[in-house]
Amino acid sequence: MREAAETSPVLTDISDGVGTITLNRPDRRNAFSHEMLQGLAATTAQMESDPAVGAIVLTGAGGAFCAGGDVQGFHESGGEGGGAAVVDEASVDAQRRVQEETVGRLYRCAKPVLASIPGAVAGAGIGLALAADLRIGSTRTVFATAFGGVGLAGDFGVTWLLHQLVGPALARELLFLNPRVRGEQCAELGLVNWIVTEDELEPKTRELATRLAAGPSHALGAMKQNLLRAPAEDLAASMHAEVPLHKATGLTSDHVDAVRAFVDKKTPTFPVGWHATEDLGPLRSPSALD
């Protein structure tokens, strides 16, 4: 499936078990708009529930990933606060909802999410990138927290996600000093899993995504649940919670067929798409973003 209107702020495609979501405001380096955030929320929810989708790719059009908040739009409206003298509580509630429906949903999605980052990712756009399970960038990829440069504290989960991914000291450095982290340095700091050349980004993304979509969906779903709980649990609690999911995956045809393939010295194959079972329990786990 591909979004018919190429001018839509969010483009979609589903093929070979991979659902691709493309942020599409290239003239603004894919900076947020109300329509983009609403489209991203709706599309992510749809792909999470679609059994034809085994893995999700999030990327950006026009050579950038996402610039986060639209600074030009801020300027035109009198700033983030629209020129008001006090914080509008209704706008606080509205942004909390949209953050939960975008970054929160991507982070807790039952299916593997891969962020393909062709170029710049800044500000709140980092929240979208870090909410993914895996990230691949190119030699043109640049991370910049950017909030301090426009006098803002940060939103869309960037503080928590950076703290979890790179640790407190580096998170402070990236937020306070706003360095431009480029190419291979993104991988060295742990912001991405892989850096490839610009020409390799699309085929490598496709290779990884189709591999995830053709993986053992029951096991991947259970692994995701375990990983989501881990930041809030100690080792004993984590081990305790792992056992029922581990035993449940042991009842699936994925497991039985893979064991048979192992004994027969063959490569296991799994159905493409998503085939999670209710035996694994709820697909959603409490998020530290809540």
Residues 98-117: b if buried by 16+ CB within 10 A, e if exposed: bbbbbbbbbbbbbbbbbbbb
Interval 204-209 mean pLDDT: 97
Average pLDDT, the chain: 89
Rounded to 5°, angle at Cα 136 from 38 and 118 = 65
pLDDT at 288: 39
pLDDT at 73: 62
50: confidence class by pLDDT, cuts 50, 70, 90 = very high
pLDDT at 76: 58
In angstroms, the CA 45 to CA 53 distance is: 12
Taking 70 as the threshold, does the pLDDT of residue 78 lie above it? no
81: confidence class by pLDDT, cuts 50, 70, 90 = low
Catalogue all structural domains in the chain, each as residue range(s) with its CATH number.
10-213 (3.90.226.10), 217-280 (1.10.12.10)
What is residue 65's DSSP assignment? S
In angstroms, the CA 219 to CA 279 distance is: 12
pLDDT at 271: 87
pLDDT at 6: 75
pLDDT at 144: 97
- Neighbouring CB atoms inside 10 A of 96's CB total 12
Taking 50 as the threshold, does the pLDDT of residue 281 lie above it? no
Collect all residues with Cβ–Cβ distance below 8 Å to 145 and sequence separation of at least 6: 122, 123, 126, 154, 158, 162, 174, 175, 178
Interval 154-161 mean pLDDT: 96
Residue at token pair 């489209």: 39
What type of residue is 188? E
3-state secondary structure of 172: helix
182: confidence class by pLDDT, cuts 50, 70, 90 = very high
Collect all residues with Cβ–Cβ distance below 8 Å to 248 and sequence separation of at least 6: 218, 222, 277, 279, 280, 281
What type of residue is 87? V
212-247 pLDDT, tens digit each: 999 999 999 999 999 999 989 999 999 999 999 999
pLDDT at 274: 81
